[in-house]
């Protein structure tokens, strides 16, 4: 059965099962949206940012018995109240329910790209800004502070004013091939340490093992990347 035919059948069933006698008091359909807006307001209260809600129009053919008790609301299909949300609206004393679609848009100050940035770019504060954006359909976790992106690199290209999320990011290389680095040689107990200049023969992130040439002896060793431009060997 096609989606359109299925939807028509659902509407017809609602009309047959839920329709009230002509002389009975009918539910004010505008109150359904008003109560839904109040319910959403309570659920979203206290969350950061601001939100806007727009409801889809209810089928004007619906004739429902007036509910004498407060309507009951619950999300249908998802627990997240953002983006496209379907609310199940139930009247317990009249034993009917309908579904109400809402578009919940949430606006939060988040980190965005100032300009289009290429894949692999090592992020710096000058590349980023804070803007209030609609995050209702953002995929992944967004950031509210530029400092959270220190030491990060773009996994893919992003557009100007695009929200930066964890999906876009990977840890940036702390050591780049061909760069001069500091080699810290420490004893196993950590009580003795010697610092010397070296040249990175590999690129690597913090925690990676890379090859490094000792510029004094010319010897090539493997060392652990511990911070930006610093590698460590133990003896």
Position 101 scores a pLDDT of: 94
Q: What is the pLDDT of residues 65-89, one digit of tens each?
A: 999 999 999 999 877 888 999 999 9
Judge if 91 and 33 occupy the same domain: yes
Strand partners, 75: 87
For residue 24, the model assigns a pLDDT of: 57
**pLDDT score at 202:** 95
Question: Which pLDDT score, from 0 to 100, does residue 10 have?
Answer: 46
Same domain? 77 vs 114: no
Final residue belonging to a domain, choices 171, 191, 207: 171
Q: What is the pLDDT of residue 150?
A: 83
40 has pLDDT over 80: yes
| Predicted confidence band of residue 21 (pLDDT cuts 50, 70, 90) | very low
Residues 120 and 100 in one domain: no
14 and 94 housed in the same domain: yes
Same domain, 9 and 99: yes
Question: Does 77 lie in the same domain as 11?
Answer: yes
For residue 214, the enclosing domain spans: 180-234
**Which of the listed residues 130, 152, 171 is the one where a domain comes to its end?**
171
The predicted structure's pLDDT at residue 17: 47
CATH number, domain with residue 227? 2.30.30.760
Q: Are 158 and 190 contained in the same domain?
A: no
Q: What values do phi and psi take at 3, rounded to 5?
A: -60, -40
Query: For the chain, what is the domain count?
Result: 3
Whether the predicted pLDDT of 129 surpasses 60: yes
Residue showing tokens 């980023």: 128
For residues 159 and 146, state if they share a domain: yes
* Cross-strand partners of 137: none
98-108 pLDDT, tens per residue?
999 999 999 99
> Are residues 113 and 77 part of one domain?
no
Portion of the chain with pLDDT greater than 90, in percent: 63
Main-chain phi, psi angles of 220, to 5 degrees = -95, 125
Instruction: Among 122, 141, 171, give the residue marking a domain's end.
Output: 171
How many degrees, rounded to 5, is the angle at CA 137 between CA 136 and CA 138? 100
Same domain, 47 and 75: yes
For the chain, give the mean pLDDT: 87
- Give the per-residue pLDDT at 48: 83
Residue 60, both tokens? 């004007």
Contacts for 170 with CB less than 8 Å, ≥ 6 apart: 152, 153, 154, 155
- DSSP for the chain, please give it: --HHHHHHHHHHHHHHHHPPPTTSPBP-HHHHHHHHHHHHHHHHTTSSSEEEEEEPPPPTT---BPPSS--EEEEES-S--SEEEEEEEEETTTTEEEEEEEEEEEEEEEEEESS-B-TTPBP-GGGEEEEEEE-TT--S-B-S-GGGGTTEEESS-B-TTPBPBGGGEEEPPSB-TT-EEEEEEE-TTSS-EEEEEEEESS-B-TT-EEEEEETTT--EEEEEEEETTEEEEE-
pLDDT at 154 over 90: yes
The answer to whether 165 and 155 have CB atoms below 8 angstroms apart is no
Task: Report the Cα 184 to chain-centroid distance in Å.
Answer: 39
d(CA 200, CA 181) in angstroms, rounded, equals 6
pLDDT of residue 32: 93
């Amino acid at each position: 059965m096609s989606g359109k035919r299925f939807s028509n059948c659902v509407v017809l069933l609602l009309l047959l099962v839920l329709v009230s006698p002509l002389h009975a008091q009918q539910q004010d359909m505008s109150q359904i949206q008003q109560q839904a807006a109040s319910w959403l307001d309570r659920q979203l209260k206290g969350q950061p940012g601001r939100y806007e809600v727009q409801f889809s129009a209810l089928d004007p053919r619906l004739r429902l018995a007036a509910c004498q008790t407060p309507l009951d609301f619950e999300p249908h299909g998802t627990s997240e109240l953002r983006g496209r949300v379907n609310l199940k609206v139930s009247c317990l004393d009249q034993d009917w329910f309908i579904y109400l679609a809402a578009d919940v848009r949430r606006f939060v100050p988040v980190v965005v790209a100032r300009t289009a940035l290429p894949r692999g770019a090592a992020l710096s504060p000058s590349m980023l800004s804070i803007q209030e954006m609609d995050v209702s359909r953002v995929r992944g976790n967004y950031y509210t502070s530029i400092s959270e992106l220190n030491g990060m690199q773009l996994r893919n290209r992003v557009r100007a004013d695009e929200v930066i999320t964890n999906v876009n990011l990977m840890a940036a290389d702390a050591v780049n091939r061909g760069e001069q680095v500091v080699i810290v040689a420490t004893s196993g107990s950590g009580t003795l340490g010697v610092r010397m200049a070296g040249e990175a023969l590999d690129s690597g992130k913090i925690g990676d093992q890379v090859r490094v040439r000792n510029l004094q002896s010319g010897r090539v060793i493997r060392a652990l990347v511990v911070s930006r431009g610093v590698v460590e060997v133990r003896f």
